[in-house]
Homo-oligomer: A and B are copies of this chain.
Amino acid sequence: MTQATRRERGRAATDRDIRQQARTLLVADGPQAVTLRAIARELGITAPALYRYYTSREDLIEHLRQDICADLGTDLGGDLAEVDEADHLGQVLAVCRGFRAWALAHPQEFAMVFASPAEPGQHCPVGAQRAGRDVAVDSFGRIFLTVAGRVLANGFQLAQADAEVPAQLVADMENFRDDLLAAMAESGVQVPPEYLGTGTAYVILQFWVRLYGQVALEVFGQFPYPVSDCEPLFESMLTGLVRDAGLL
């Protein structure tokens, strides 16, 4: 079973401990509290020992980001599993609600993954990037795309035809559509290419813009007035969203 030698198992174990402890500090006291010394202290080791696992604090943070994405992915997978397989609209709603719930429950993680100024050449975590083998990063995006794929595979016709896509965007949308098809195929969802035109890709993109905007505004408290209860606001937005996407 465990072909790994004792040292390898021990190393993997402490590595998990490091990341888990970093997560604990993050949720408890914010990003500035996840310091190498604090992590080491809680683990009963010294700070330089962490350099046997990560080249720098920033490197650890980066791996943390990926862990967070993976957790969000499994979280949404759980939400999705509770919905009837044939209820495609329900699946979409479940993923959207799950995304919001996760973001509100983990604001620090949300900010770290979805609201950090990006360096060029890095458009994760939603995208299915092919950087280092099959990184866990895209597990979140894969959930989204899998749901979209299921919806499309069953012949749902999303709103807006291909003609609506501006000429300057067609190339990008074809690119996006191919990414979608590839990700869906990887997830085992067979979707006929003729169901996924550039117009459909554009609708999915707009869907993401509105969902992300709503959730980010709520997490960051940037609504232009004091919202007494954000939930009905979100539900109202979600209703409009699926309506405008042609899912209702």
Chain A interface residues (CB < 8 Å from chain B)? 30, 107-108, 111, 114-120, 122-123, 125-127, 141, 144-145, 165-166, 168-169, 171-172, 175-176, 179, 202, 205-206, 208-214, 216-217, 219-229, 232-233, 235-237, 240, 244
Contact = CB atoms under 8 A, between A and B. Distances in A.
Contact of A216 (B107, B206, B216): B216
B212 A210 contact: no
B224 A123 contact: yes
Nearest to A201: B225
Nearest to A175: B225
A225 B176 contact: yes
Which of A111, A175, A213, A244 has the most chain B CB atoms closer than 10 A to its own CB? A213
List of 9 A-B pairs having minimum Cβ-Cβ separation, nearest first? A213-B213, A118-B221, A168-B232, A126-B224, A115-B115, A176-B225, A209-B213, A107-B117, A179-B225
Given A118-B221, A172-B233, A226-B127, A210 B208 contact: no
27 contacts: A108-B117, A114-B220, A115-B216, A118-B222, A123-B222, A123-B224, A123-B226, A123-B227, A126-B224, A127-B223, A127-B225, A127-B226, A145-B224, A168-B232, A171-B228, A172-B227, A175-B225, A176-B224, A205-B223, A206-B237, A206-B240, A208-B217, A209-B213, A209-B214, A210-B213, A212-B222, A244-B244
A211 B206 CA distance: 11
Given A111-B116, A213-B213, A216-B213, A225 B123 contact: yes
Nearest to A170: B232
Contacts of A228: 171-172, 175
Nearest to A32: B32
A64 to B, nearest CB: 16
Contacts of A220: 114-118
Given A117-B107, A232-B169, A205 B224 contact: yes
A212 B221 contact: no
Given A127-B225, A169-B233, 6 more contacts: A115-B216, A117-B221, A118-B221, A127-B223, A166-B232, A244-B244
A244 B175 CA distance: 27
Contacts of A171: 228
A111 B208 CA distance: 19
